[in-house]
């Protein structure tokens, strides 16, 4: 820890915006097991959830803001935002941007009215902010490209929206693809592989940066100040293992783990045609980033699942 880094109280309360998604449910359960008082802000309360839920509209400050106001050390985890699995039309990109920026601004406005600052804020973002970065290593220091509508045009204003938050320690967590049996990304890859479409996509040379769900949870805990061995500084942190793989190797590993034979490649034109039918963005499969974290390495964070094969073995056997 540098001499300029303040030591802030360990939060005993965490408010999660976007806590009804797969990652939100994971971190809510994880924190509750550690005796952290969890509140989930949601547009659609779930009667089966084991956690306290507070309804909000994700756009305006309302009665829900009382969930942030406490004499106990309180942190925010902001995961709110629509899934990116949609056609890349101007309308859809604008909706993706609003679904992230508006909840963030509402949270920031509510936090500005608090009697005391929040102690921690974990702001979700994405490594897709670098768009298709080719073979360049993307770390916390890598410049953000200018003028790209998706996902740079979504993620950059998402990050900027949290700039004025009333908080002592803020981390922007640029997360790569989280490997989790509940995640839409892994579910779709497994489905394609099981149906014989597990060959490389396009050239197969695009990079796939990833992280196992347990390592992502550990990074969030460290960002909240709950890990006695790892202290993360404020600012950008990349949540990705040090070992991204190319698409051709990703698909080969999936086939091996799912006991599927070699499969023909999916040419880019065929993928683009299929994306129209599935109403998704073909660039999700044709582009990639070679990301890793300088900050995590410097702070001594140890990945439980540093290699793709071990991560998939744990998740799908």
Q: Is pTM, for the whole model, over 0.85?
A: yes
pLDDT of res. 2: 47
Q: Give per-residue pLDDT as tens, 276-289.
A: 666 777 777 888 99
Average pLDDT of the chain, as a whole number: 92
pLDDT of res. 268: 82
Residue 26, pLDDT > 70, answer: yes
The fourth-level CATH superfamily of domain 13-180+209-243+289-303 is NAD(P)-binding Rossmann-like Domain (3.40.50.720)
Taking residues 64-90, what's their average pLDDT?
A: 93
- Reported as a pLDDT band with limits 50, 70 and 90, residue 5 is low
- Reported as a pLDDT band with limits 50, 70 and 90, residue 150 is confident
Range from 168-177, 261-270, 304-313 carrying the lowest mean pLDDT? 261-270
- Reported as a pLDDT band with limits 50, 70 and 90, residue 4 is very low
Residue 236, pLDDT > 60, answer: yes
Helical segments of the chain, H only? 22-33, 90-112, 152-160, 184-194, 213-223, 247-257, 268-278, 283-286, 294-298, 308-316
83 is written with which tokens?
């899934």
Side-chain-facing half-sphere of 111: CA atoms under 13 Å: 26
Closest CA to 212 of 192, 234, 237, 240: 240
Residue 166, pLDDT > 90, answer: yes
Residue 267, pLDDT > 90, answer: no
CB distance 295 to 223 below 8 Å: no
- Reported as a pLDDT band with limits 50, 70 and 90, residue 174 is very high
Give the residue, 97 or 281, on which the prediction is more confident. Answer: 97
In the chain, where the domains are located: 13-180+209-243+289-303
């Amino acid at each position: 820890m540098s001499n300029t880094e303040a030591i802030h109280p360990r939060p005993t309360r965490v408010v999660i915006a976007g806590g009804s998604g797969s990652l939100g449910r994971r971190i809510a359960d994880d924190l509750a097991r550690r005796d952290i008082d969890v509140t989930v802000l949601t547009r659609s309360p779930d009667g089966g959830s084991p956690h306290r839920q507070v309804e909000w509209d994700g756009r305006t400050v309302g009665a829900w803001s009382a969930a942030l106001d406490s004499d106990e050390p309180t942190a925010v985890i902001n995961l709110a935002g629509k899934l990116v699995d949609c056609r890349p039309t101007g309308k859809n990109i604008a909706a993706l941007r609003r679904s992230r920026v508006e909840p963030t601004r509402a949270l920031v406005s509510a936090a500005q009215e608090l009697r005391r600052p929040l102690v921690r804020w974990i702001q979700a973002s994405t490594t897709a902010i670098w768009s298709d970065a080719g073979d360049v290593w993307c770390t916390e220091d890598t410049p953000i490209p200018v003028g790209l509508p998706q996902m740079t045009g979504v993620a950059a204003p998402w990050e900027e929206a949290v700039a004025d938050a009333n908080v002592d320690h803020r981390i922007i967590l640029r997360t790569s693809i989280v490997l989790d049996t509940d995640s839409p990304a892994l579910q779709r890859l497994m489905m394609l592989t099981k149906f014989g479409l597990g060959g490389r996509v396009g050239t197969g040379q695009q990079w796939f940066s990833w992280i196992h769900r347990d390592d992502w949870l550990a990074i969030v805990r460290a960002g909240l100040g709950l890990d006695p061995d790892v202290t993360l500084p404020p600012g950008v942190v990349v949540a990705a293992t040090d070992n991204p793989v190319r698409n051709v190797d990703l698909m080969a590993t999936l086939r091996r783990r799912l006991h599927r034979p070699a499969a023909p490649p999916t040419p880019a034109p065929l993928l683009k045609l299929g994306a129209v039918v599935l109403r998704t963005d073909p660039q999700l499969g044709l582009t990639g980033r070679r990301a890793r974290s300088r900050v995590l390495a410097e702070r001594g964070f140890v990945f439980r699942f540093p290699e793709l094969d071990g991560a998939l073995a744990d998740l799908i056997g």
